[in-house]
């Protein structure tokens, strides 16, 4: 299926002309039952077919749908090498936005598929799927690639009958990112969806029809949108119900199902169906909807939010009406463990951001705006914005461009003798006033003319500034606490640093009163030359300079370990957070534990390295 179905007849070597798929109503109802009872796995991460199959089989065993002793047999069956019907032909075609269903049951009915005892040996044999994630030569030469839009993704449907199952094995998977699954699809298109139906012997035709049903649904524009956005099983079932609402049944005996219906010259618009669907209860489904293939780079579409009302504050009023039903749920939906990791992460990201930019702002504005102001501003504006903007998910904080602006403004004020803070207040008030005018006049409809390029340009700039600042801080550390590159192990005796009193010899130095570093003298330098006696050797570096002493020794300029330790903490935090993030797809621990560790990856890394830092002292 690309838009229409194509078949290879038994013994045939080429694909038929595209034709309208004719489905039996019974197969659609059976598909609905499959969706109700099978494993639905959305937004999973997998990089290869074996990993994906293992994930599906483990999920079935965990949920009690599959007996653990059948794991090897099912895995073996699903990893059998996929022989495309048209391998011999020069006229190859596409089995799909990747459906490879046509007479797929042949894969499993062959009695020589290997007895269970041979399973482990056979898992490495040539009868298994080419599990590399790179496309085969045949796939790359496939002429059908020209007919596909550039960002096409495949959904593979695998159906068949086996002799070792008593109940059907059903799985519908949507991957987080589309992945190349080797030679599974006939053309080298990355797979986003996978539907598997294995069942006991004797119902091959029924399974085949269910496979055709899901494949046809996936090539249906409205259902395909729902599949991308669905948050759970109910969304998918609602999508099938919507499809069933629109289905027209032809009574048997009054037409010949063997006659293929030609595709219409011009396709009827599916907008009406889309509007009816989005007007329903599932309007707030969120997911990565792919932008329409072939229409250029991801615009905003013709959505209601971006239409101009032409009335004073018309857009604002409509926004409030649209948002009120979901206002409370936006907050209480966050009361689950997965949201907690996101909340902690965003909190840390915002706090560290406020501190970092607060410090930089302080440097840029002679501390007129520093860490405290940055902190308070982020907290107050963030809270007000989350409560009243109908957007509790927007993260507010200072960014690079703001810093550049503040620096320029401060220098401008200084050069022209303006009061910087007063000037800054007026800029804030004017900005607020202009925002109100933009809201009142519906100016946000102009957003529809912005492309992804604008947004991603700014994102790249901000990301670059953050990365640059992190490295800049590390390099500054190396400046403050330089590494002693001339240090020789075993020659520790040569390295020392002592505080020596200033030249005038009349300073009385006595060993009676030795001051420990924590009881540093708080004496003005004029008093020092008179009555007080203390030990210069116990002064810290800062105090030595403060009281006019001299630092003598070749290790005075170096601080051992600080720079290297900082780099270890810096790179360690980054590496461990990346490793823990990928922990979701590792073979250790049960799925729930892996998911939890992956969700809390960044918090865990920060905590682990803060503890290491504290322990090392």
pLDDT of residue 120: 36
pLDDT at 522 over 60: no
Please state, as a whole number, how many other Cβ atoms lie within 10 Å of the Cβ of residue 389.
Answer: 12
Indicate the burial class of 137 (C-beta count within 10 angstroms; 0-12, 13-18, 19 or more). exposed
Bridge partners, residue 175, by sequence: 44
CA–CA distance, 116 with 369 (Å, rounded to integer)? 72
Task: Characterize the bridge pairing of strands 154-162 and 191-200.
Answer: parallel
pLDDT at 391: 66
Note whether 207 and 161 are within 8 A (CB): yes
pLDDT tens digits for range 148-166: 777 788 888 999 888 888 8
- Residue 509 pLDDT grade (very low, low, confident, very high; cuts 50, 70, 90): very low
**Cβ–Cβ < 8 Å for 382, 354:** no
Mean confidence (pLDDT) of the chain: 77
pTM: 0.43
Q: Mean pLDDT across the stretch 466-480?
A: 84
What region does 513 belong to: left with phi over 0, alpha with psi -120 to 50, or beta? beta
Q: What is the pLDDT of residues 426-438, one digit of tens each?
A: 999 999 999 999 9
Q: Is 544 helix (H, G, I), strand (E, B) or coil?
A: helix
Residue 450 tokens, joined: 């912005």
- Asked if 282 contacts 242 with a C-beta cutoff of 8 angstroms, the reply is no
Q: How many CB atoms lie within 10 A of CB 553?
A: 13
pLDDT of 575 over the 90 cut: yes
Phi, psi (deg, nearest 5) at residue 434:
-65, -35
pLDDT tens digits for range 61-83:
988 888 888 888 888 888 887 77
What pLDDT sits at residue 171? 92
């Amino acid at each position: 299926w690309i838009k229409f179905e194509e078949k290879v007849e038994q013994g045939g070597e080429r694909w038929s002309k595209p034709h309208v798929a004719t489905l039996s109503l019974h197969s659609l109802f059976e598909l609905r039952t499959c969706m109700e009872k099978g494993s639905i796995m959305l937004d999973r991460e997998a990089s290869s077919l074996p990993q994906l199959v293992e994930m599906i089989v483990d999920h079935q065993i965990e949920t009690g749908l599959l007996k653990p002793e059948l794991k090897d047999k099912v895995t073996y069956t699903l990893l059998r090498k996929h022989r495309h019907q048209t391998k011999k032909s020069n006229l190859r075609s596409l089995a799909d936005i990747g459906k490879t269903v046509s007479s797929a049951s042949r894969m499993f009915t062959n009695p020589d598929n290997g007895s269970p005892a041979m399973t482990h040996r056979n898992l490495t044999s040539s009868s298994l799927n080419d599990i590399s994630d790179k496309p085969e030569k045949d796939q790359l030469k496939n002429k059908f690639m020209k007919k596909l839009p550039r960002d096409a993704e495949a959904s593979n449907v695998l159906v068949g009958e086996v002799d070792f199952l008593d109940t059907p094995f059903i799985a519908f998977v949507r991957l987080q990112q589309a992945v190349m699954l080797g030679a599974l699809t006939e053309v080298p298109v990355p797979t986003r969806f996978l539907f598997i139906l294995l069942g006991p012997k004797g119902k091959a035709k029924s399974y085949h029809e269910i496979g055709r049903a899901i494949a046809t649904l996936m090539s249906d524009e409205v259902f395909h949108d729902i599949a991308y956005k669905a948050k759970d099983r109910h969304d998918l079932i609602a999508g099938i119900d919507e499809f069933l609402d629109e289905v027209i049944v032809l009574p048997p005996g009054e037409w010949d199902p063997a006659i293929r219906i030609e595709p219409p010259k011009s396709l009827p618009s599916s907008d009406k169906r889309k509007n009816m669907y989005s007007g329903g209860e599932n309007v707030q489904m969120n997911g990565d909807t792919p932008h329409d293939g072939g229409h250029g780079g991801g615009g905003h579409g013709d959505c209601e939010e971006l239409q101009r009302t032409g009335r004073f504050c018309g857009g604002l009023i409509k926004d409030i009406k649209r948002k009120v039903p979901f206002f409370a749920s936006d907050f209480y939906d966050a009361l689950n463990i997965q949201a907690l990791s996101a909340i902690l992460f965003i909190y840390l990201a915002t706090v560290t951001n406020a501190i970092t930019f607060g410090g930089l702002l302080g440097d840029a504005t002679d501390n007129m705006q520093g860490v405290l102001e940055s902190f308070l501003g982020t907290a107050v504006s963030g809270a007000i914005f989350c409560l009243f903007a109908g957007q509790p998910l927007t993260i507010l904080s200072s960014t690079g461009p703001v810093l550049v602006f503040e620096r320029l403004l401060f220098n401008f004020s200084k050069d022209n003798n303006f009061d910087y803070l007063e000037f800054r207040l007026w800029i804030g008030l004017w900005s607020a006033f202009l925002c109100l005018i933009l809201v009142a006049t519906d100016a946000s409809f102009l957003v529809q003319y912005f492309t992804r390029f604008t947004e991603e340009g700014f994102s790249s700039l901000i990301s670059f500034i953050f990365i640059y600042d992190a490295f800049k801080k590390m390099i500054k550390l190396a400046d403050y606490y330089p590494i002693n590159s001339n240090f020789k192990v075993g020659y520790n005796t040569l390295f020392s640093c002592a505080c020596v009193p200033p030249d005038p010899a009349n300073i009385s130095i006595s060993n009676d009163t030795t001051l420990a570093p924590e009881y540093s003298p708080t004496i003005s330098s004029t008093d020092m030359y008179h009555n007080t006696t203390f030990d210069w050797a116990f002064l810290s570096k800062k105090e030595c300079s403060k009281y006019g002493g001299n630092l003598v020794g070749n290790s005075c300029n170096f601080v051992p370990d600080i720079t290297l330790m900082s780099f270890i903490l810096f790179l360690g935090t980054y590496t461990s957070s990346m490793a823990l993030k990928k922990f979701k797809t590792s073979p250790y621990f049960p799925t729930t534990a892996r998911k939890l560790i992956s969700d809390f990856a960044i918090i865990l890394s920060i905590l682990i390295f803060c503890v290491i830092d504290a322990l090392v002292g």
